[in-house]
Structure 1
Amino acid sequence: MAQSVKYIPVSVFPVVYVVHSLYRRYKPRKLPTLTSLTMLELYVVAATPVLVRCLGFADAVDIIRDKDRGTILYAAGRLRNALKLDPNLRQSFKNLDATMSQSPAGREEQARLKWLREGDDRSGNIIQRVVWWYRHPLWSHDQSIWNGMAMLMLEEYKQKAGDTQPPVETLRRDWDLCVTYLTTVALFSRVEKWGEKAKKLLAASIPAAWLARFSGRPLLYLPMGGVQRLLLGVVLYADWASNAGLFLHIKRIRDKTTFAHLVTGVFGDLKFKETVPTDESSEMLFELFE
């Protein structure tokens, strides 16, 4: 059921678009258009949010049915709630990152965490760099939270029998995917704010575009068309990021069982509790470098 739902927009919207196009061919529009978007662009704009939600719904169902990926999903929600309920927790992450940079051992650990996050991707060719930036959204670039979560999970990793060595390259991408997913969900409110601002600017641009068009000056109304398309792109991206894009990382984790074990060790029982106690949060973080 979940897999079939995602294809509904693919079959419905093209049919409606063809019918609408034929109708307009025999009965052209007489009233002025509200935007400079073509009919095809309008249908793409209408279909994209529906498609994104269907894809997100199908992915969410698959992840929840998977015990290990579902555990990681709940862990991300736990971290997000903890940051919301405890204003001091984010500052604790930042303080820990600042403490690390003041000692040789701390700087060595920071370099190790940077390798876990980047590997050789950011030092590779332009394609590798673009792919890396795509997989690490701008709103999730909070090094202190990323490092703090990675260290908590590394402490759990070291406690496993036979797993005392640093993670090798075959596991590095899973570390990056898992911790980036946790950070992305925890800082998700940032992309929501971007989307809301873009919607308001897009709404304000419509009357501005009308005035520019009625002025008859190409230097005014032509740039407005580009501005509207740019804002629309931001709105659609934010919509994708808050639906199907949320599951981009968690779906690609290969060793899901190991990372489900690690986040369970960090957050405890993920089925019932919704927060990490304030005192334990800060204490666990700073104990790593005492």
Structure 2
Amino acid sequence: MELQVETVSDPDLCLLEVAARVLRLHFIKPRAPAEEADRFLDVGGRDALRRIRTMTYESATGVWGKLAWWHNHIWSSEETWLRTAAIWEIRFGKTVNFSSIADWDRWITHVASTAQSEPDEDDAMVIQYADYRLKALIPFAVSIPLAMVARWTGRRSLLRPMNGLQRLLLWASIYPSFMKPYQHYAYLRGFEKKHQYAQDIRNSVGLDSENNLI
């Protein structure tokens, strides 16, 4: 994929992507950091972070802006997003100086989406979201006998809605496989100041401009 190649070739984007995967593997998936995040959320952090999340949605301009917000946030649950935000603020809140709430939300959303994904066995840079396909395939499978009954009985009032529903569910099961890899890397490119954020990470861990240890 072209965007994937561009991400790997760009030192800033590559570092941000690697950082998201490191966070997923060492801070979001393990139990101890997750429990720390849960304690933070339980003492008021949940409401505060949820207000920020709602604010980013409300600041999206027009119908298309809100649809874009929804499309970029559906790849992780709200709970994963909240826990990711909590872990980031607890452990790394002062590491990167985000220039806007929009960029902060983009980073948290990207990390949360990465956290709720599973790398492909053959290519670690390919993102898999099998749970979304399964959620659409199950109702699609359930709809098959209903569609067969509609065809056998010849009831057009039932047949047409079932055909439409089946097409929608089939498309919903196929859509993540094609769109998510594109969205994953395209969304990463949308930062206002990606170089600044990557440089903040370099400074915190001791890397040069090509991401080599100093």
Structure 1 length normalisation: TM-score? 0.56
State the alpha-carbon separation in 2 of the partners of residues 65 and 197 from structure 1: 35
RMSD, aligned CA: 3.5
Deviation at 1:60, TM superposition (A): 0.5
1:132 aligns with 2:61: no
Q: 1:122 aligns with which of 54, 58, 64?
A: 58
Residue 262 of structure 1 deviates from its aligned partner by 4.0
Is the Cα–Cα contact under 8 Å of residues 139 and 191 in structure 1 kept in the other structure? no
Pair 88,154 (structure 1): closer, same or farther in 2 beyond 3 Å: closer
- CA–CA separation in structure 1 for the residues paired with 2:21 and 2:46: 30
Look up the equivalent residue of 2:194 and give its one-letter code.
Answer: K
Distance 1:265 1:183 in 2: 23
1:12-35, CA deviations, whole angstroms, 9 ceiling, x for partnerless residues?
Answer: xxxxxxxxxxxxxxxxxxxxxxxx
Pair 120,187 (structure 1): closer, same or farther in 2 beyond 3 Å: closer
Q: Greater Rg, structure 1 or structure 2?
A: 1
Which of 167, 171, 186 is equivalent to 1:229? 167
The Cα shift of 1:258 comes to 2.2
Listed as ranges, the gaps of 5+ residues in structure 2 are 119-127
Match of 2:82 in 1: 143
Between the aligned partners of 1:144 and 1:261, the Cα distance in structure 2 is 25
Letter in 2 for 1:182: V
Structure 1 residues not aligned, in runs of 5+: 1-56, 159-166, 272-290
1:52 counterpart residue number: none
- How far residue 154 of structure 1 moved from its aligned partner, in angstroms, is 2.8
User: Across the two proteins, how many residue pairs are aligned to each other?
Assistant: 197
Q: How many angstroms apart in 2 are the aligned matches of 1:215 and 1:198?
A: 26
Superimposed CA distance per residue, residues 230-253 of structure 1 (whole angstroms, 9 cap, x where no aligned partner): 212321332234321211321112
Q: Which amino acid letter does the alignment assign opposite residue 122 of structure 1?
A: E
Q: Which residue of 2 aligns with 1:177?
A: 106
Report the TM-score, using the length of structure 2 for normalisation. 0.72
Work out the CA distance in 1 between the residues paired with 2:28 and 2:67.
31
Match of residue 74 from structure 1:
18
Moved more, 224-233 or 171-180: 171-180
Question: Using CA pairs below 8 Å that are at least 6 residues apart, which structure has the higher relative contact order?
Answer: 1
